[in-house]
Every structure is written in structure tokens, then in C-alpha cells.
Amino acid sequence: MPKIQRKNLSTASLKSLLQVMSESKSAPNNEDLSRCLEMAEGLEARLAELSATLKETELQGRQISSALQILPAAIFRHDFDGVISFSSKSVKNLFGQLPEDLLGENLGEIIHPYDRGILAEALDELRKKKKSFFSMRFLKKKKGESIHIDGLSVISNEKDEGEIITLCRPCSTRGSCPSRDAAQESEQILAAFIENTDQIVYMLSTDGIFEYVSPGWTKLLGHDPSEVEGSHFEPFIHKEDIDACKAYLKEVLKSKYPDWKPIYRVLCKDGGYRWHNSNISLVRDSKGNPNGYIGISVDITDKVEAVERLKKSETQYKHLFNNIIDAAFIYPVAPDGTPGIFTQVNRVACLRFGCKEEEMLKLSLSKITDPTLGHLHLREAMRKMLVEGSVRFESIHVNKEGRKIPVDIIATRFENNGSVFCLSLAHDISGRKRTEIELSVAHSAVEKAMRIKSEFLANMSHEIRTPMNGIIGLSKLLSETPLSELQKEYVSTIMLSADTLMDVVNDILDITKLEFGKVKIEEEPFTLLEPVKEVLKMVRHNAKAKGLQLSLDAPGLDKTVVLGDAVRIRQIMLSLVSNAVKFTEKGGVKISVRLAMRERQKGIAYFEVEDSGIGISSDKFGDIFEKFFQEDSSSTRKFGGLGLGLSIAKQLIELMGGEIKVESKKGVGSKFYFTLPLCLATTPSPNKQEKAP
């Protein structure tokens, strides 16, 4: 498995963490997430941009810093006596000499004897004009060989005329050399590096005095070089960084290449500070003693600020990572879906498993998962995550003590250093599982109770219906015999009571069957108005007795044949029309039927029952279809009934794919209307007079 670099992980894993936080029940407040997201969003792109810029900047710095070392031209620092205190690495390529072998040697020693007079003339010219061009032969280490050189000498600092920089490059044409033009070209090469770079090239004495600073200082910090040269470096360095700079200079004195570089703040002319670091080389005099420093300073403010933002983001990330109530794990995932060793775990994970962090970082997801689930359980989930980017699944973890913990896991894929990793949040669902078990037990108990109730009601209804049918039958026979008026009244009361009781029994049976889903909806052809007309016949006697007018409005539907359950439609209409007659004292009841065709033979039947009765309060509309509902106790005493009719009607309508609604105004009347999807048929069914059981 690839090993993750923990210090570089934070931005990538933070993105994954934020992605799954919203799906987790343990997400912190939105403000924390938003702040963290603002820091994380675009940070990687910005860092990549800064990294590219920094690489380019550092490359420029290295080019300038090493220009003295790698240019085809050799660079010497010497005094007017010709004693060399510094030479670049290029002297090895040009003259076959090692730079350190030339320290303290005289420049004249490596010049062809016939041309040493040219050197003397060049130095004389240098004293007068501060700059001198020459062309002469230099000796190579191999005896008898020489090389034609074009050269340029300049005084390194006007305040110290004892230090000279000489640049030497091979002559373009052996023999007659355009020395002045070639030297000017050499001068331009060096000047181009120093004058046009955004970095600062500087020379510092061993006492810390700036002897020279390039124009880059003005570009980066605002000061003119004249304001800096001749001054000590400390006033330009932030007071908190001076000790580090001093320590670095001491290290340079001890070693040519210290293994660290200071990061320090340099004062700008406007009073602010910019972050810099430096590459510094030590310069020695002819005796090999330290004589100063040559350095290149690079502005790294953008990088430092980006690092600070990254640190802040990492701090936020670690805070979130360690304070989620879920256990969080980060681990590599192989192409076949095998999860690797944990690279990061949060505080909750350690507490849940009873392990220290270092112990957890030796484990993997496979090691903490219940072995009875098998490794395929995890691999399938990880493979799905690799394809889809994230996956959610349930698993069982086992802690150090062997306790099994059911968990709900959200796993999210991300990449780091070219390798695939997973961030997993494992939510403990032990409580939910216990609740599910308790609910399952309770549900089983309820089902058992409902089954017992259903069996009881079925048995009781059978026991009641059998003698009631006998009472109703005998009452009808008795009514056909010669009876006195008082006897006829008694028989009528018996028959009414028996019918009422039978209706109650049938309603209880229907509601029980509906609860258990045992009501079957038939689909047979019938004339659409057939069940409606049957209902009108059944309630006409009661309506007439109250002086109510019954009316039917169904234009063009007398011979319309549809497929459906005529018995159940009649049951629904009877419930609605009976209620309308029952709760209406004057006026009438109007029934309307319409059929709207939708496509081919399919249509929607619209049934409406409107009365001018007592009406219903609008705040009761949501309750009237509940079982056993009565608007108030006075209604029960005055009109009777159990309050099951509307509940049964609503359930039957919905079972047939329709819906029922009500409009009503207290003291004005009510309107119940429902719709049913029906198909046209060609052959009507025989009349069915029996009532639905």
C-alpha cells in the first residue's frame, strides 16, 4: 500500500470531510463548516499557482546566484595587486584550475608572460575610469597551453576601490580579438542578470554593512540602493528575525553550504514588511580570511501567507476531524477494493475502540470489522466507492473488548500524491438497532392483537348476523299477518332496530377487512347509474317522510356501461346519501354524476351529493373521515350512528384509485364529491341487489 504523507493530506481530506459532513448526523454548526469551506475552497489551486511562481522565482534566484559559478565566463574578485579572493567554478572549465586552488594566488600568475603588461595597463585604466576592457592570453594548467580571453574589470564598490571584479570569457576569434566589444557583451550578460531580476543581489561586509544592493531592492522594497548601501543590515530586518539572520551568517562562516536558510521579514519603505530568504556565499581575501558575503534575496511573502492559510485550514480541519461524534478513519484503498492500514483516525475512533492513536494506526478496516461479515462485504463497498466516488453502507465493528457495534458508514474517495484514499465516517447505530428490535416486537404484538380482534369480530358478527337474519325474516312474516295498529307499530320497531343493528355489524366487518387489506375490488361491467338509482330507491321512503326532495342530474348517462365494482359504488353512495337525508330537515338532496373521457376507453367518473342540511364546521374537515368521528355528542344522541360510514367510504374510494373531498358551511349544507377512474364496457351486468358484506 502507498504510504500517505500526513502533512500534505489536510487539504484533500478536508474536502472529503466537508462533502460527507452534511450527510452525517454529527455535522457541526453550519458557520464552522462555511468558514472551513471558505479556507479550503480554491486553496489547492492557489498553492499550486504559488508553487509554480515560487519555482520560477527560485529558479531565477538560482540562475543569478549560480551565474557567478556556471557562466562560460570566469569571475574573479581581487585587489589592485592582483591577489585573488574569490573565483567562480567556471575557472576549472576555462583554465583547468580548481577555484579553491586560486585563493590567495596572483592573477598575473595565470596570464601568459607576454601579456602581463596588458594586465598592468588594464588596472591603470581601471583606476582612472572605474572600468577596463582587455584581451589577453591566460595560461591553462596543462603546461604549454593558453587560451585567448576577453575581459572586463570593474571596481566592486566606489567606497572601497581595493576590491575589483573581473569577468573573463573565451575570445570569439583566436588571434585578433575585438576585446572592447566582447568585454561589453560580457558586461551586459552579467548586468542583465543583476539589473533586470526581481530578486535582490547584495554584497555584505563581515561587519554586516551593505556594500552593494541591486535595483531589485527598489522594485521589491521601495528604497533606493543609496539609502541602503553603507548601512548595517539590522535596521532593515524585523526585530524578531535578527537573531536568526545573525545565526545564519555565523553558519556561513563555519560552512560553505549551511543545511538551513532563514526566513525573515525585511522593512519596506512604506513601513510594512515582506518575507524573504537568502542564498549567501562567503568571500575570502588573498589569505583565505573571510572578507564578506555575496547573497541573493528572494521575496517569498506569497508563499509564507499561503502556508499560514494552509496551517489555519489544517487547524480547522483537525478541530472538525477530532470533534465529530462519529468515528473517522482515513486509509488507502487498493484497486481491487482492499482497504489499507489507517493513516489517520480521530479522537472518537480511539475512544470507541479503546485504543491509543498509535495502536489504531496499526489496524485496518478489515481488522475492526466483524469477521462473520466476511472480507467480501468491505471489498464490494470499496469497489462501489472507487467507481461512484462515495458509498453508504451498514457494517458491524468490534472494539478492543470484543463488543460488537453496528455502524452506518459514509465512505468518500479522494486522491493524495497520486494514490487513492478513503475518508470514512462511522456512525454508531446501536440505539437505532435497539429501537428497530423494540418496534419489531411491538409491531408483532400489534399484528397479533389485530388478528385476534379481527377473528373475534368475524366470529361475533357471524354469531350476531345469524339470529338477526332470523329476527328480520320472522318480523317480515309477522307484518304480513292480521295485526292491530299497536302490534304493527311494535313489528315496525323490531324491523327498524334489526336493520340498524345489521348495518352496524356490516360496518364493523367492513372496517376490519379494510384494516387487514382483505377487501377485494371487483371489475365487472355495469350501467353507471344503476347503483345510484338503487340508492335513491332505498332512501326515498325516509326522504319522503321528512318532506325532502331527491333529485338526480346525470345527462346522457342512462345507457353508459363501465367496468368497476357496482356493489362498492352503491355502498359509498348509500353512505353519503343516507347521511345527507339524515342531517337535512328541509330542502332536499341532489345527486350529480358526470363522466369525462381521458384517452381511448378510459375516463373519470365524478359523483356529487349535495344537501341543505346542518352543515359541518370548516375546522372539522380533516376529521370527518376518521373512524368513529362525530362532530359533537348531540349529533350522536339526535341522529345515531357509529361514525364509520365516511371512513369506510373514503378507504373504498382510495382503494379504487379515486379521492373524496368535502365542501360545507355550518347551517347551510354540505357537498361531498368523489372521483373514480373507470373504463367503458359494452355489456351491462345483471342487477345486483345484495348489499356488500
Q: What is the pLDDT of the chain when averaged over all its residues?
A: 80
Q: Is residue 165 part of a domain?
A: yes
More confidently predicted of 471 and 421: 421
**What confidence tens digit (pLDDT) does each residue in 531-571 have?**
999 999 988 988 898 999 999 999 989 889 999 999 999 99
Looking at the structure, do residues 420 and 467 belong to the same domain, yes or no?
A: no
190, 222, 247 — which closes off a domain?
Answer: 190
Q: How confident is the model at residue 99 (pLDDT cuts 50, 70, 90)?
A: confident
Looking at the structure, do residues 536 and 614 belong to the same domain, yes or no?
A: yes
pLDDT at position 690 is 46
374-383 b/e (C-beta count within 10 Å ≥ 16 → b): eeebbbebbb
Q: Is residue 532 part of a domain?
A: yes
Looking at the structure, do residues 578 and 665 belong to the same domain, yes or no?
A: yes
Looking at the structure, do residues 609 and 664 belong to the same domain, yes or no?
A: yes
pLDDT at position 321 is 84
488, 513, 538 — which closes off a domain?
Answer: 513
Helix (H, G, I), strand (E, B) or coil at 609: strand
**What confidence tens digit (pLDDT) does each residue in 8-52 have?**
444 555 555 555 555 555 444 555 545 555 555 555 555 555 555
**What confidence tens digit (pLDDT) does each residue in 396-420 have?**
999 999 999 999 999 999 998 889 9
Mean pLDDT within 309-329: 85
513, 546, 567 — which closes off a domain?
Answer: 513
pLDDT at position 177 is 43
Amino acid at 475: S
Environment class of 149 (CB within 10 Å of its CB; exposed 0-12, middle 13-18, buried 19+): buried
Q: Which of 159-168, 360-369, 409-418, 505-514 has the lowest mean pLDDT?
A: 159-168
Helix (H) or strand (E) holding 384, with range, is helix 375-388
Q: Which of 242-251, 267-276, 281-290 has the lowest mean pLDDT?
A: 281-290
Looking at the structure, do residues 502 and 524 belong to the same domain, yes or no?
A: no
Kindly state the cell numbers that stand for 372.
462473520
Looking at the structure, do residues 492 and 527 belong to the same domain, yes or no?
A: no
Residue 529 has pLDDT above 90, yes or no: yes
Q: How many structural domains comprise the chain?
A: 4
Q: Is residue 479 part of a domain?
A: yes
Q: Are 216 and 201 in contact (CB under 8 A)?
A: yes
pLDDT at position 393 is 94
Q: Which of 440-444, 551-555, 685-689 has the lowest mean pLDDT?
A: 685-689
- Distance between CA atoms of residues 465 and 478, nearest Å: 19
More confidently predicted of 685 and 356: 356
Q: Which of 385-394, 466-475, 511-520, 658-667 has the lowest mean pLDDT?
A: 511-520
pLDDT at position 670 is 92
Q: Is residue 353 part of a domain?
A: yes
Residue 186 has pLDDT above 70, yes or no: no
Q: Is residue 433 part of a domain?
A: no
Looking at the structure, do residues 458 and 337 belong to the same domain, yes or no?
A: no
Q: Which of 49-58, 104-113, 377-386, 523-532 has the lowest mean pLDDT?
A: 49-58
Looking at the structure, do residues 491 and 525 belong to the same domain, yes or no?
A: no
Looking at the structure, do residues 486 and 355 belong to the same domain, yes or no?
A: no
Environment class of 336 (CB within 10 Å of its CB; exposed 0-12, middle 13-18, buried 19+): exposed
More confidently predicted of 324 and 12: 324
Residue 478 has pLDDT above 90, yes or no: no
Q: Is residue 293 part of a domain?
A: no
Residue 4 has pLDDT above 60, yes or no: no
User: Which neighbouring-strand residues pair with 526?
Assistant: 562
Q: Are 522 and 678 in contact (CB under 8 A)?
A: no
Q: How do beta strands 588-599 and 549-553 pair?
A: parallel
Helix (H, G, I), strand (E, B) or coil at 363: coil
Q: Is residue 581 part of a domain?
A: yes
Residue 610 has pLDDT above 90, yes or no: yes
Domain that holds residue 106: 71-190
pLDDT at position 350 is 94
* Percent of the chain predicted with pLDDT > 70: 79
Residue 92 has pLDDT above 50, yes or no: yes
Rounded alpha-carbon distances, angstroms, from residue 45 to 304, 306, 327, 412: 16, 11, 30, 21
Evaluate if pTM is beyond 0.75.
no
Mean pLDDT within 114-122: 81
Helix (H) or strand (E) holding 190, with range, is helix 179-195
pLDDT at position 55 is 58
More confidently predicted of 87 and 496: 87
Looking at the structure, do residues 417 and 470 belong to the same domain, yes or no?
A: no
Looking at the structure, do residues 352 and 500 belong to the same domain, yes or no?
A: no
In this structure, what CATH number is given to the domain that contains residue 489? 1.10.287.130
Mean pLDDT within 518-536: 90
pLDDT at position 589 is 94
In this structure, what CATH number is given to the domain that contains residue 161? 3.30.450.20
Q: Is residue 296 part of a domain?
A: no
* Percent of the chain predicted with pLDDT > 90: 32
Q: Which of 170-184, 283-297, 353-367 has the lowest mean pLDDT?
A: 170-184
Q: How confident is the model at residue 637 (pLDDT cuts 50, 70, 90)?
A: very low
Looking at the structure, do residues 527 and 506 belong to the same domain, yes or no?
A: no
